[in-house]
Amino acid sequence: MPQTVVIKIGTSSLTQPDTGYLALSTIAKLVEVLSRLRQQGHQVILVSSGAVGVGCARLGLKERPRTIALKQAVAAVGQGRLMRVYDDFFTSLEQPIAQVLLTRSDLVQRSRYVNAYRTFRQLLKLGVIPIVNENDTLAVEELKFGDNDTLSAMVASLVEADWLFLLTDVDRLYSADPRSHPEAEPISLVDDIAELQGTVEVGDRGSSWGTGGMVTKISAAKIATASGVRTVITEGRSPDNIEKILQGEPLGTQFEPEPQPFNARKRWIANGLVPAGKLYLDRGAVNAICQAGKSLLAAGIVEVEGEFQSQDAVQLCDPLGQEIARGIVNYSHIELQQIRGRHSEDIATILGYVGVETVVHRDNLVLST
């Protein structure tokens, strides 16, 4: 049965660790596997890192750039060369590809989010493999995905994919880093990501050339599985594993998708939007939202943090500061400072005009836990 498959490959898998040059044999194997999947009827999207690494090699830089301006310049050099390599390999197998460069702001605005969805759908319908990367040349720090693990999870959520493969430099998730802890236990299946926190010791960074360690992969799995996407961590140097896993072999670490994933609008709220502030709630409001599925009223707000306007995204936090949900707010931070803790019928008197009853309506609210 044809499925939509998103594959993310990291810099550590795409490049040779000692030189930083492209690992052409790995890329050739990956291209063969993805082309075969297309021939079998699957819809395939590749999220590829490597532009900064390739740019560094091209310019003779010995370490990853630290400033945003230098990184953006290096990415601009590397992106064209990386796409040329992919195009040469895919063309030899008569598989058309397309370059898709995304910034976070492409997903923040609802109309652009929907347009990105339609573009991907049209490319897939044409039998094209989109090759996605963050538009490092233009992205600003506040609106960056931060790493391609997160980007790939958001793309998988956007296109309603069946599978997300995170290809990395280890064969699966372990209880600790197997390179420094030989006794680390392999983890084959994760039913509940929250349970990993006590059992897995994860580094915050991968290889010297990559930007994501296991932390970002687990975060990406959380985004994808909440959207109903089965997620797999497996070894990037063995792209054949993708086909074997699709055929049912128990390789890598698989994350079970949520049985009742968010709808399209709630996926956009959860993953596309960047929160502009925080609302701290009392216990009654937390219970009403988490247990009873209620909207947020002004009476339940204890504290307002940040500067935001009506229709911006905000995080909803419990008294300890733990995020319990996020949603689209109906009032600005200035208005909420005046009406927080007050009953809905008092809002018109306090503000001098009639506002909506809810601060965040339950239709515009997504639970985080």
Q: What is the pLDDT of residues 110-141, one digit of tens each?
A: 889 999 999 999 999 999 999 999 876 665 55
CB 301 within 8 A of CB 327: no
Q: What is the CATH number of the domain that holds 56?
A: 3.40.1160.10
- For the ranges 30-44, 205-219, 265-279, the lowest mean pLDDT is seen at 205-219
Same domain, 130 and 212: yes
Same domain, 203 and 149: yes
Fill in the amino acid letter for 145.
Answer: F
Q: What is the CATH number of the domain that holds 294?
A: 2.30.130.10
Same domain, 210 and 229: yes
Same domain, 212 and 73: yes
Same domain, 257 and 342: no
- Give me the helix-helix angle, 110-125 and 148-158, nearest 10°: 80
Q: Is the pLDDT of residue 25 over 60?
A: yes
Same domain, 152 and 120: yes
How does pLDDT run across 333-355, given as a tens digit for each residue? 999 999 999 998 999 999 999 88
Identify which of 85-99, 136-150, 338-352 has the greatest average pLDDT.
85-99
The one-character DSSP state at 345 is: G
Give me the number of domains the chain comprises.
2
Between 169 and 245, where is the model more confident?
245
- Give the mean model confidence (pLDDT) for residues 270-274: 85
Q: Is the pLDDT of residue 160 over 80?
A: yes
98: alpha, beta or left? (left if phi > 0; alpha if psi -120 to 50): beta
- Give CA–CA dist 123/4, Å, rounded: 12
- Give the mean model confidence (pLDDT) for residues 140-159: 80
Q: Is the pLDDT of residue 17 over 70?
A: yes
pTM for the model stands at 0.85
Q: Is the pLDDT of residue 253 over 90?
A: yes
Q: Is the pLDDT of residue 72 over 80?
A: yes
Of the residues 222, 246, 266, the one at which a domain ends? 266
Same domain, 187 and 74: yes
Between 263 and 328, where is the model more confident?
328
Same domain, 291 and 252: no
pLDDT bin (cut points 50, 70, 90) of residue 239 is: very high
- For the ranges 88-92, 98-102, 172-176, 319-323, the lowest mean pLDDT is seen at 172-176
Same domain, 214 and 71: yes
Q: What angle do CA 262, 233, 230 make, to 5 degrees?
A: 30
Q: Is the pLDDT of residue 210 over 70?
A: no
The one-character DSSP state at 295 is: P
Same domain, 54 and 198: yes
> What token pair was written down for 111?
């109309």
Of the residues 221, 247, 266, the one at which a domain ends? 266
- Give the mean model confidence (pLDDT) for residues 245-262: 91
Alpha helices of the chain — where are they, by DSSP H? 11-14, 24-39, 51-59, 68-92, 105-108, 110-125, 148-158, 214-226, 240-246, 264-267, 283-290, 333-339, 347-351
Q: Is the pLDDT of residue 63 over 90?
A: no
Q: What angle do CA 212, 215, 63 make, to 5 degrees?
A: 25
Is the CA virtual torsion 113, 115, 117, 119 positive or negative? negative
Same domain, 286 and 158: no
The parent domain of residue 362 ranges over 275-367
Mean of per-residue pLDDT scores for the chain: 88
Same domain, 309 and 333: yes
Per-residue pLDDT at 207: 43
Q: Is the pLDDT of residue 19 over 80?
A: no
Of the residues 225, 247, 266, the one at which a domain ends? 266
